[in-house]
Amino acid sequence: MSLYWSDIVHRLSPYVPGEQPALAHPVKLNTNENPYPPSPAVLAAIRDEVGETGESLRRYPDPTARKLRETVAAYHGLAIEQVFAGNGSDEVLAMAFLALLKHDRPLLFPDITYSFYPTYAKLYDIVYQTVPLADDFTIRIDDYAAPNGGIVFPNPNAPTGHALPLADIEKLVAANPDSVVVIDEAYVDFGAQSAVSLIGRYPNLLVVHTVSKSRSLAGMRVGFAFGDAKLIDALVRVKDSFNSYPLDRVAQAAVTAAYADEAWFRDCRAKVIAGRERLSAGLSALGFDVVPSAANFVFARHESHDAATLSARLREKEIFVRHFKLPRIDQHLRITIGTDAECDTLLAALRELLDGSAA
Ligand SMILES: *Cc1c(COP(=O)(O)O)cnc(C)c1O
């Protein structure tokens, strides 16, 4: 606290990201990064952009990220006016909260979901109400029937990994013509149906994507919003009141190249999905109850071992998983799908920990 802080700073509750340990070879299964590298075409595009001398870096990047947006629009069968690009989908979401979700009526989101949503709500002084998930961690769309100033959740949801079918998303969007429904599809590529196909028919639907998970580019910080041109225009107005150049040259070139290598994308995705089924089976065999996941992580609890203790003991072995000290989920661990070797290291460590305290 300081005399110099504004009122806003006093009431913030900043998001706490998963640990990025300063270790040479951690088994890092705590922030849902992709365990496989990006396409070689991405590296080539980065080298091309920078060139021998770095001459291009002297100049500002394209403030509209036109080429990148064109590429991604074509990829999804959208018009460029239906695509917004930002510095990571967290930034895109932050702009959407300010541009589209700040209204008189409360914003609705699940009680168990991405913990950045309440953080943004506090930043912008947006009134919100949480809607409890069912006991099996599913989102019941009928529970969102209350008057609202907007609705937001990830599909698949985080940190549960549970996905809603597209028909449910459409029902929700159709039932709320007076407010914007934001579907955060950070994990959609790993097994859920995307709502991008609904955009032409619903002017109140905003779909948010990221390259951080399925495209192995968390370090590049690029995310997108897809929606009706009027919604995108609102985001552009906020962006241009904040930072004209949120995406640097290297990021624009790298991500444009990533979307051109579909074979690489599919191959990595298939490996992560196979790894998920393998890890889920391994955890079940050790006595974990694993929530069926459509994402690149699993959410699991052990029938007889405390989650915080397990997480701390794994950390001593330089194995990082995510534990949330929150109501309803404080006995769960969220575990990112790593390479098969990383998952095997985790399973071996867990086996040792569980055996060691069996008495
Ligand atoms: C990882 C994640 C994001 C943020 O992605 P960035 O593009 O890296 O900012 C957004 N929403 C959810 C639900 C996520 O898990």
Task: From first to last of the 359 residues of the chain, give the pLDDT tens digit.
Answer: 889 999 889 889 898 888 899 999 999 999 999 999 999 999 999 999 999 999 999 999 999 999 999 999 999 999 999 999 999 999 999 999 999 999 999 999 999 999 999 999 999 999 999 999 999 999 999 999 999 999 999 999 999 999 999 999 999 999 999 999 999 999 999 999 999 999 999 999 999 999 999 999 999 999 999 999 999 999 999 999 999 999 999 999 999 999 999 999 999 999 999 999 999 999 999 999 999 999 999 999 999 999 999 999 999 999 999 999 999 999 999 999 999 999 999 999 999 999 886 44
- Token pair of 280 as six digits: 């889920």
Q: What is the pLDDT of residue 45?
A: 98
272: helix, strand or coil: helix
CA of 11 to the centre of ligand 1 (A): 23
Counts of helices then strands in the chain (DSSP H, E): 11, 12
Which residue has its alpha carbon closest to ligand 1 atom 12? Answer: 186
CA of 210 to the centre of ligand 1 (A): 7
- Tell me how crowded residue 267 is: count the other CB atoms within 10 A of its CB: 13
* C-alpha span between 56 and 246 (Å, rounded): 17
* C-alpha span between 220 and 210 (Å, rounded): 10
* CATH code of the domain occupying 7-38+263-355: 3.90.1150.10
Whether residue 186 has its Cβ less than 6 Å from ligand 1: yes
Q: What is the pLDDT of residue 136?
A: 95
CA of 89 to the centre of ligand 1 (A): 6
Q: Which atom of ligand 1 is nearest to the CA of 113?
A: 13
E-strand stretches of the chain: 27-28, 83-86, 107-110, 128-131, 150-154, 181-184, 205-210, 223-227, 288-291, 297-302, 319-320, 333-336
- Token pair of 55 as six digits: 């001459």
Domain 41-261, CATH 3.40.640.10 — does that match? yes
Contacts of 75 (CB under 8 A, 6+ apart): 259
Tell which residue, 113, 119, 120, has the closest CA to residue 94.
Answer: 120
Tell which residue, 195, 141, 191, 211, has the closest CA to residue 297.
Answer: 191
CA of 313 to the centre of ligand 1 (A): 27
* C-alpha span between 237 and 6 (Å, rounded): 25
Tell which residue, 326, 268, 324, has the closest CA to residue 31.
Answer: 324
Q: Which residue has the tokens 């932050």?
A: 94
Domain boundaries in the chain? 7-38+263-355, 41-261
Q: What is the pLDDT of residue 18?
A: 86
* C-alpha span between 271 and 119 (Å, rounded): 33
CA of 159 to the centre of ligand 1 (A): 11
- Tell me how crowded residue 265 is: count the other CB atoms within 10 A of its CB: 18
Whether residue 218 has its Cβ less than 6 Å from ligand 1: yes
Whether residue 114 has its Cβ less than 6 Å from ligand 1: yes
Q: What is the pLDDT of residue 357?
A: 65
